[in-house]
Amino acid sequence: MSDGNQGGKLKVVGQRPIRPDGVDKVTGRAQFGADFHLPGMLAGRIKRSPHAHARIVKIDASAAASLPGVKAIVTSVDFDRGASGEVEAGEGHTAIREVAENCLASGKVLYVGHAVAAVAATHPEIAAEAIDLIEVTYEALPHVIDVEEAMAPGAPLLHADLFTKGVNPKPDKPSNIALKSVMGRGDVPGAFKSADVIVEGRYTTAAVHQGYIEPHACVASWGADGQSTVWCSSQGQFLVRALVAKILGMPLSDLKVIPAEIGGGFGGKTTVYLEPVALALSRKCGRPVKLVMSREEVFLASGPTSGSVMDVKIAATKDGKITGAEMMLAYQAGAFPGSPVHLGCMTAFACYDVENLALVGYDVVSNRPKVAAYRAPGAPMAAFAVESAIDELARKLGMDPIDLRLKNAVRDGAKTVYGATVKSAAFVETLEMVKASAHYKTPLAKGQARGVAAGFWFNIGGESSAAVHVDEDGGVTVVSSNPDIGGSRASMAMMAAETLGLPIERVRCIIGDTASIGYSGSTGGSRVTFATGMAVVQAAEKVVADLKRRAAETWGCDLAMVEWADGVAKCADPSKDAKPLSMKAIASRSAKTGGPIAAEVSINAQGAAAGYGVHLCDLEIDPETGRSTVIRYTAAQDVGRAIHPAYVEGQLQGGAAQGIGWALNEEYVYGKSGQLENASFLDYRMPVASDLPMIDTILVEARPNPRHPYGAKGVGEVPIVPPLAAVANAVSHIVGERMTSLPLSPAKVLAAMAKR
Amino acid sequence: MARLTTISGRVGDFTGGLTHFDVEARSVRALVRELEQRFPGLGEFVEEQMAIAIDGEIFQDALTAEFGADSEIVLIPRISGG
């Protein structure tokens, strides 16, 4: 296998071919989850809780069942009540029982919008009418929304069987704190005792939604022979299969999941909400059922990411060396355990070489929708606190914020607090390139300020499968096992083309369903270009080996004398009068040389390399309204090697835009009764194109990943980590005080400015 | 013997709070068995829900990975993503 350090020899990798999915998406021809139709298909609707916390006393669906056109009604009793075990989803292992409970509540509802029943009918209007006819009797219970209130003694308890894990001895009373996560090293009290400078602060972030444009949608069809099919948009068809099959108590082999085009996921589509419900409905009535969430349902019932409360304290010498830090992180998990607080702890100081560290994280349930993964789960909040504190430290020391970060930056060989050794890191190079950039050297105008912040993400590998099929005319089809969210069809095709020596135009990539390609983990964690890409390259290498064997047999020469370059086999044996054989020539005669030419590879990829980002944000504030306007923004990132640079730049720009929204506007607003009060894009304010300047990017390719054949590192998670602090640091400089609570809404900024 | 460290509080639920100890194992598969014997339930927990950093490199679901007598083994929460 190649070693990832062959940049000068590459012909396809590193180029910018036209994106293969572009035309379909901009012309509306792409088939998303909601676009699929089957003959006889029914329309489904979900009945949702109006209470933040209540016991379900009774569900009476008799009136709904008698409505003409209603074909099926399901509640939680239609799920496999004994479903147990766990499945690896976006934020880690997820208990099947809790996923099922989130899809259809049984004993209690735990948030406004929690699903309690579903209907399938011949028309959407009939389904909607039937939903209104289902009578649910509730016994309302006290609720808790805020994370600190949920942690307080005497808070309403969501789960009587939830005891805090990670505490020794095991508690004898239930709690809303699902997990206490502790990590650290060194002598933290000693570091603070000998410090020249200490900065500390409390930082908070609001729950924010992933904000994908396409709502959750699926079609499910229960086959008369027990073979069932689900069509849906998700970040992993195999994950959907596993969750749906286990919730409904069926063998995996009886369910095929066909991935639709996906209109954004960002981690939020690494679980299921509708799919088991739709299939349960279909099982009851024998007809296909479609379920599509409205935008309001997306906000009410699909995962946002955690809001958080964090205390951070940093000790440093007067020349800027950070000698110690301590941090408390409390993350909202929503209605069921599983916030990414442990990832917040692991990433908080991952950019810096700090000898003495103490971190404690709390995973806290409250009466909100269960959180789901969101790009770099857990890291942006932690980075907001740490990067704000480091900015504060730079101000206190009178140091350039990039110089301060350079002084403390991790370099290869440094030990992270979570146990890994830093390898192939280009954080220092990324900081240096930002410092040398035209943006950083450009003076600010009056009334403007600049924020700097850094971010880290591990990136992961894992199980992936890919197949490479050579067509009879010498073209190639790559079958990927991962839904294409960020351009993986292009990158998979490019890596195959590079390995095979073909022009990119001769290679196409499709996404296989669960029955047509080997298992793969989900599209998430910035793993696909690395792990599935590795499987593609290995499959392509197998194909090349097969092509060479066929050429050798055709020429009657030793296999060792066959060279493969630029899609052509050449014989290096001077004794043979052998004309070069192209891919097309060999493929067209494949029947005579052993049959079809194809290879499939399944691997468990290890060796993913971490990524680092540094962002610059120039900003100004309207003193009349408090509205912040980003006027210039640069995102720089250690990307290993960019397979398709335009897609990588798009990842950086998208992550920055989402992070800017998180910093300035986005939040879940709750009323006193636990109602979400802004469940629409009108009231939940995400940035739109006219809100932002063109986001400049700097791709740092100083350290290709030696464990990937073309040097790729994951790139999709890192860019959402720095923006929260980059924006907040700029706002803080203008306001004249440290802004510690996101979002930095105009009202909040105006109030802070009024105090000065 | 290889030195095992954990940064996960959940491992402490099995070990009674022990966070550093030596292990005889020389592979992840043997480590899982050894942990299960010494702290019932921990081997299965590590196999299903933890990643392992061996001398600084993170492995997930890698039972065949081997390590040396002087290796540093760190049990860490599995890393996922969005």
Residue-wise pLDDT tens digits, A377-419: 999 999 999 999 999 999 999 999 999 999 999 999 999 988 8
Question: Looking at CA atoms only, how far is residue A630 from chain B in angstroms?
Answer: 26
Closest CA to A455 of A261, A593, A612, A608: A612
Pick the last residue of a domain from A570, A589, A605: A605
Q: Note whether B20 contacts A: Cβ–Cβ < 8 A.
A: no
For the range A22-25, what are the long-range contacts, defined as Cβ-Cβ under 8 Å and sequence gap of 24 or more?
Answer: A24/A261, A25/A261
The predicted model gives A137-141 an average pLDDT of 98
Average pLDDT value for chain A: 96
Q: Confirm if A274 and A290 have CB atoms less than 8 A apart.
A: no
A749 in the same domain as A621: yes
Q: Considering the domain boundaries, does residue A316 fall inside one?
A: no
A421 to chain B, closest Cα gap in Å: 4
Q: Does residue A186 belong to the interface with chain B, where contact is any CB pair within 8 Å?
A: no
The distance of B22 to chain A (nearest Cα, Å) reads 16
Same domain for A542 and A642, yes or no, is no
Same domain, A699 and A628: yes
pLDDT at res. B77: 87
pLDDT in tens, A645-684: 999 999 999 999 999 999 999 999 999 999 999 999 999 9
Task: Using an 8 Å CB-CB cutoff, list chain A residues near B53.
Answer: 418-421
**Of A180, A270, A604, A717, which to mutate for an interface test with B (greatest number of B Cβ within 10 Å)?**
A604
Q: How far apart are CA A335 and CA A301, in angstroms?
A: 10
CB contact under 8 A, A181 and B55: no
Q: Average of pLDDT values for A116-133?
A: 98
Give the model's pLDDT for residue A166: 87
Does residue A574 share a domain with residue A676? no
- Under 8 Å CB pairs connecting chains A and B tally to 132
Query: Are the CB atoms for A707 and A607 separated by under 8 Å?
Result: yes
Answer whether B58 touches A (CB < 8 Å). yes
Could you write out the DSSP letters of every residue in A380-425? HHHHHHHHHHHHHHHHHHT--HHHHHHHHB--TTPBPTTSPBP-S-
Structure confidence at residue A83 (pLDDT): 77
Chain A's closest residue to B64, CA to CA, is: A604
Is the CB of B60 inside 8 Å of chain A's CB atoms?
yes
Q: Do B9 and A182 touch (CB under 8 A)?
A: yes
Contact B12 A168 (CB under 8 A): yes
Judged against a pLDDT cut of 80, whether residue A600 lies above it is answered with yes
State yes or no: pLDDT of B50 exceeds 80.
yes
Is A745 domain-assigned? yes
Q: What is the mean pLDDT of residues A170-185?
A: 93
pLDDT, tens digit, 9 for 90 and up, residues A312-371: 999 999 999 999 999 999 999 999 999 999 999 999 999 999 999 999 999 999 999 999
pLDDT band at residue A260 using 50, 70 and 90 as cut-offs: very high
The residue of chain A nearest to residue B74, with distances taken between CA atoms, is A419
- The yes-or-no verdict on residue A708 having pLDDT over 70 is yes
CATH classification of the domain holding A21:
3.30.365.10
Q: Is A363 on the interface with B (CB under 8 A)?
A: no
Interchain contact B21–A (C-beta under 8 A) = no
Residues of chain A above pLDDT 70, percent: 98
Residues A562 and A490 in one domain: yes
Please answer yes or no on whether A90 and B82 come within 8 Å at the CB atom. yes
Please, which residues have CB within 8 angstroms of residue A154's CB and are 6 or more apart in sequence? Answer: none
A479 and A524 fall within a common domain: yes
| Tally of domains in chain A | 2
Q: pLDDT per residue over A209-245, tens digit each?
A: 999 999 999 999 999 888 999 999 999 999 999 999 9
Supply the range of the domain harboring residue A705: 415-458+609-755
Using 50, 70 and 90 to split pLDDT, how confident is the model at A84? confident
Domains of chain B (ranges; CATH) run: 2-77 (3.10.20.30)
Domain annotation covers residue A734: yes
Nearest residue to A234 (alpha-carbon basis) of A256, A210, A215: A215
* A619 contacts: CB under 8 Å, gap ≥ 6: A448, A449, A450, A451, A628, A629, A630, A631, A727, A730, A731, A734
**A562 vs A88, residue with greater confidence:** A562
Residues 420-449 of A with CB under 8 A from B: 420-421, 423
Nearest to A521 by CA among A582, A448, A606, A457: A606
A630 shares a domain with A535:
no
Query: B57 vs A607: CB contact, 8 Å cut-off?
Result: yes
The helix-helix angle for A275-285 and A96-103 (nearest 10°) equals: 70
Q: Residue A2's pLDDT is what?
A: 45
pLDDT on residue A4: 56
Maximal C-alpha separation, chain A: 90
B13-49 pLDDT, tens digit per residue, is 899 888 889 999 999 999 999 999 999 999 999 998 8
Q: Label residue A150 by pLDDT band (50, 70, 90).
A: very high
Q: pLDDT: is A750 or B60 the higher one?
A: A750
Same domain, A714 and A630: yes
Contact yes or no for B13 and A165 at CB 8 A: yes
Within a domain: residue A15? yes
Same domain, A576 and A624: no
